[in-house]
């Protein structure tokens, strides 16, 4: 679980920060949520996560746009079935294009826009744990990722503390390149370079 989760968690963190830096309003709103519920006198702890609904929505939207594994693990059908009008015989190997499904305009209005608010309004009941087939970055069913809860827990806590502890800016004007790579893991094609400065009391960093 640790081996499989290390690169995918890192990839998600990089995409999450890249998307927010290209959308400063969202980054500011996330930090305002942290300041409201946590204050600037301490770091975020595990018991705070339930209150940080906007940050949870940001991570969901990151998963929707940039699933760490854009193609699901292969499945083999143990019985014949029909999907979308296609008859698929038993024994067929099936690989699901999560990247395509999660950007389907029939399910996601403005699918190419980074809009975390959709998970607080129109899609507030959609989760990432495989119960909703329009969003399943961890897969679904008996072969879904066994580290889902672990990954979500780590992402919520890491992103929250990262945004709470630091201010971010990019060293040059313009938008960050959001081009991905081809492979099992959806890596960003260019390194993310940011300027980081503390935003909390100096004694907290000792």
- Residue 139 falls inside a structural domain: yes
Cβ(170)–Cβ(176) under 8 Å? yes
Q: What is the pLDDT of residue 3?
A: 56
**16 labelled ligand-binding:** no
- Residue 144 falls inside a structural domain: yes
- Residue 88 falls inside a structural domain: no
- Residue 129 falls inside a structural domain: yes
How many whole angstroms separate alpha carbon 159 and alpha carbon 173? 24
The list of the chain residues with pLDDT below 70 reads: 1-6
- CATH number for the domain harbouring residue 164: 1.10.630.10
- Residue 36 falls inside a structural domain: yes
Model pTM greater than 0.75? yes
Q: Provide the domain count of the chain.
A: 1
- Residue 92 falls inside a structural domain: no
If one counts every other C-beta atom within 10 angstroms of the C-beta of residue 79, the result is: 8
C-alpha closest to that of 183 among 1, 8, 6? 8
Full domain range(s) for residue 104: 2-70+97-205
pLDDT tens digits, one per residue of 44-65? 999 999 999 999 999 999 999 9
Q: What is the pLDDT of residue 1?
A: 53
């Amino acid at each position: 679980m640790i081996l499989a989760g290390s690169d995918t968690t890192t990839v998600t963190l990089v995409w999450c920060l890249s998307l927010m830096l290209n959308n400063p309003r969202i980054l500011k709103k996330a930090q305002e949520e942290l300041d409201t519920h946590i204050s600037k006198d301490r770091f975020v702890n595990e018991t705070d996560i339930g209150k940080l609904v906007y940050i949870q929505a940001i991570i969901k939207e990151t998963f929707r746009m940039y699933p760490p594994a854009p193609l699901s693990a292969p499945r083999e059908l143990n019985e014949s079935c029909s999907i979308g009008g296609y008859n698929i015989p038993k024994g067929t190997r099936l690989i699901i294009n999560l990247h395509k499904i999660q950007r389907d305009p029939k399910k996601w209005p403005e699918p190419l826009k980074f809009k975390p608010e959709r998970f607080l309004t129109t899609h507030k009941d959609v989760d990432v744990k495989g119960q909703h087939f329009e969003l399943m970055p961890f897969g679904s069913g008996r072969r879904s990722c066994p580290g889902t809860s672990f990954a979500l827990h780590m992402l919520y806590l890491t992103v929250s503390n990262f945004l709470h502890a630091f201010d971010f800016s990019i060293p040059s004007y313009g938008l960050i390149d959001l081009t991905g790579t081809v492979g099992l893991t959806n890596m960003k094609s260019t390194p993310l370079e940011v300027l980081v400065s503390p935003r909390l009391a100096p004694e907290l960093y000792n």
